[in-house]
Amino acid sequence: MERRNCKIQKPLVSSFIRLVNILKDQKNQFGIVSIALHWIVAIALLMILLSGRELANGNPNLSYDEILLVHARVAYLVLPFFLFRLYWRLRQGYPEFTIPKKLSHFIPPFQYLILISIFFSYLSCYFILNMDTNLWYLKQENIASMTTEISIHTVVAKTAFLLIIIHIIAASIQILFAKNVNARRMISLPDNEKT
């Protein structure tokens, strides 16, 4: 029985290795799928930030409940990615950036922890207050009584936004000044992969 289980597991392991190789090629560079995921999540984060800004500003031309729905649902979709990315980052190690190395070892996992904590601060609105509200369908009147939780959520979200800005600046430095080929691949594929 053990040998048979071993034979069943081998295809699963090889499939996982193939998937990893798609995400990252043999030269430890970003693969096409990894680049696509990076920009999909970047767009999703932009949607979350913009919808959050509209909620804070109270745009009279837009329905509060509809914006809140978009804000929450897009966040639900990217949460599994952040959890997986944090696990992957802690398991695989950190990139050796030249400017500055110590920050590059510290910021990436902290960035994902902050992004994940946004969701937990959001969920605390319901678990702390024990509200009978479906998390998928939020209403403006339910948000009004959550002043402390919303304040925490806002502070954590602004911290995440600051880390995203640092990430963009650091990536720009790597591409423009440090000539980091791996970072450059996020905006341009090598000639042999261009169609």
Taking the domains of the chain in order of start, what are their residue ranges?
30-193
> Does the predicted model carry a pTM greater than 0.75?
no
Q: Which two tokens stand for residue 46?
A: 């932009």
Q: Which tokens hold the place of 12?
A: 């699963």
- pLDDT band at residue 42 using 50, 70 and 90 as cut-offs: confident
Three-state secondary structure call for residue 58: coil
Contact status, residue 173 vs residue 21, Cβ threshold 8 Å: no
Tell me the per-residue pLDDT of 138-165, one tens digit each, with 9 for 90 and over: 555 555 556 666 677 777 777 777 777 7
Instruction: Please tell me the distance from the alpha carbon of residue 9 to that of residue 3, in angstroms, as a whole number.
Output: 10
Q: Which residues pair with 30 in a beta bridge?
A: 24
